[in-house]
């Protein structure tokens, strides 16, 4: 490590999540963000200035060339994840990659191989595994308070993403299943202690946003775990009124349900509206759910604290590129299932060759 007291961090991408990463690291005492990379120089500079980050580059490879850098976070459009992760590993930097890990299973394997060859940690940024309310729910599962868990449901929904590249499936790789289903799938795997998924059934369509995307805008996905247990994932890009993030866990001796955002917000009425309500809410006029500590409630600072500690102490992370690959394989199976109308068994053999996962649905 460049400095034994602190992990030196670079942030690649100065958009929505790049901002959240900078905000999260500001709460991690043993991390120091030393540089940002964004092809949009003004955006990179603005983010650097607002968090007192000393350097910003327009090419992430300049950031990777820094000697005093231990770890990067990857918060760029999905089609760029693989190249940035591989370049970072080859430069000897530990990597925190945003979801989804990448667009294809071949790329996922290449990322994992590059990380192993370089001896760096490949960490997969699934913040729901660090969200305090969900951590408490998993704690109940782990201490046996719910008995044997047989069903876990997770749902993340909003009215649609904020940047044009999300709607272009050549860049995003798919619609809401890939964008937000990856959270729900990762959550179900975590609650089931990462048991393998034996089969996947999915139904989806482009119900509302067909004018701007070929991607599905509402998706349902049922996972059957090896050895028993079911996961149900529901994800939407057509649900107005701000983000909803909910989970339910059912066991032989109990159950629990968590409403991550509505359950930690103020219920507000305003004739005139106010500055900020909840991520992706269309209005703040009338009855709204006013968020506070949104980043903390989602688990972003806790997630970055964990990854920084893993680098500093050379410990294995809770969630890795291998988990990101497992989630992506389930997404492949879900697109295949939606295309054929049949459940799809895992592991996929052979791995279907696609440019992006949604091809598996569109081909059918």
Dmax of the chain from CA atoms?
59
Asked whether position 60 contacts ligand NAD by CB under 6 A, the answer is: yes
Closest CA to 208 of 217, 195, 219: 217
What DSSP string runs through 163-214?
SHHHH-HHHHSSSHIIIIIHHHHHHHHHHTTTPPEEEEEEEEE--S-TTT-S
Asked whether position 46 contacts ligand NAD by CB under 6 A, the answer is: no
Residue 350 tokens read as 């052979």
Residue 239 annotated among the catalytic residues of the structure: no
Q: Which stretch binds ligand NAD (CB under 6 A): 8-16, 207-215, 264-272, 329-337?
A: 8-16
Q: Pick the closer one to ligand NAD by CB: 20 or 346.
A: 20
Count interface residues toward ligand NAD (CB under 6 A).
23
Tell me the residue number closest to ligand NAD, measured at CB. 15
Report phi then psi at 233, rounded to 5.
-120, 130
The partner residues of 37 in beta bridges, in order of sequence, read 12, 57
Residue in 42, 54, 116, 163 binding ligand NAD, rule: CB under 6 A: 163
Asked whether position 42 contacts ligand NAD by CB under 6 A, the answer is: no
Cβ proximity of 125 and 154 under 8 Å: no
Q: Pick the closer one to ligand NAD by CB: 99 or 346.
A: 99
The footprint of ligand NAD on residues 269-288 (CB under 6 A) is none
Q: Which stretch binds ligand NAD (CB under 6 A): 76-84, 210-218, 234-242, 268-276?
A: 76-84
Give the integer Cα–Cα distance in Å for 158 and 212: 16
The footprint of ligand NAD on residues 14-33 (CB under 6 A) is 14-18
Which one is catalytic: 93, 99, 121, 138? 99
Tell me: cis bond preceding 347? Omega within 30 of 0 counts.
yes
Q: Which stretch binds ligand NAD (CB under 6 A): 6-14, 260-268, 304-312, 324-332?
A: 6-14
Question: Could you give the 3-state DSSP secondary structure of residue 58?
Answer: coil
Provide the binding-site residues for ligand NAD, judged by CB under 6 A: 12-18, 37-40, 43, 60, 75-78, 80, 98-99, 125, 127, 163
For the annotated catalytic residues, the residue numbers are: 99
């Amino acid at each position: 490590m460049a400095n034994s007291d602190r992990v030196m961090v670079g942030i690649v991408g100065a958009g929505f999540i790049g901002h959240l990463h900078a905000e999260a690291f500001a709460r991690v005492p043993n991390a120091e963000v030393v540089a940002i990379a964004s092809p949009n120089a003004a955006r990179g500079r603005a983010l650097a200035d607002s968090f007192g980050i000393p350097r910003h580059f327009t090419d992430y490879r300049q950031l990777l060339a820094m000697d005093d850098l231990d770890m990067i976070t990857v918060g760029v459009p999905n089609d760029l994840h693989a190249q940035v992760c591989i370049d970072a590993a080859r430069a000897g930097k530990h990597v925190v990659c945003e979801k989804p890990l990448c667009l294809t299973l071949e790329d996922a394997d290449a990322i994992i191989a590059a990380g192993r060859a370089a001896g760096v940690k490949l960490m997969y940024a699934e913040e729901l595994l660090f969200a305090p309310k969900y951590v408490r729910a998993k704690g109940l599962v782990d201490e046996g308070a719910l008995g044997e868990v047989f069903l876990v449901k997770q749902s993340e929904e909003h009215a649609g993403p904020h940047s044009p590249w999300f709607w272009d499936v050549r860049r995003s790789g798919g619609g809401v299943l890939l964008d937000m289903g990856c959270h729900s799938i990762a959550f179900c795997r975590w609650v089931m202690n990462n048991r393998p998924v034996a089969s996947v059934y999915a139904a989806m369509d482009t119900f509302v946003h067909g004018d701007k995307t070929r991607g599905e805008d509402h998706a349902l996905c049922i996972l059957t775990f090896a050895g028993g247990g079911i996961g149900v994932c529901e994800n939407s890009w057509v649900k107005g009124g701000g983000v909803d993030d909910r989970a339910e866990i059912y066991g032989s001796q109990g159950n629990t349900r968590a409403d991550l955002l509505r359950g930690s917000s103020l219920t507000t009425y305003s004739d005139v509206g106010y500055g900020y309500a909840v991520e992706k809410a269309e209005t703040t006029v009338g009855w709204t759910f006013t968020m506070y500590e949104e980043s903390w409630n989602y688990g972003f600072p806790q997630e970055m604290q964990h990854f920084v500690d893993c680098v500093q102490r050379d410990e294995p992370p809770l969630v890795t590129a291998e988990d990101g690959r497992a989630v992506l394989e389930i997404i492949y199976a879900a697109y295949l299932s939606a295309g054929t109308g049949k459940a799809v068994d895992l592991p996929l053999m052979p791995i279907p060759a696609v440019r992006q996962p949604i091809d598996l649905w569109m081909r059918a």
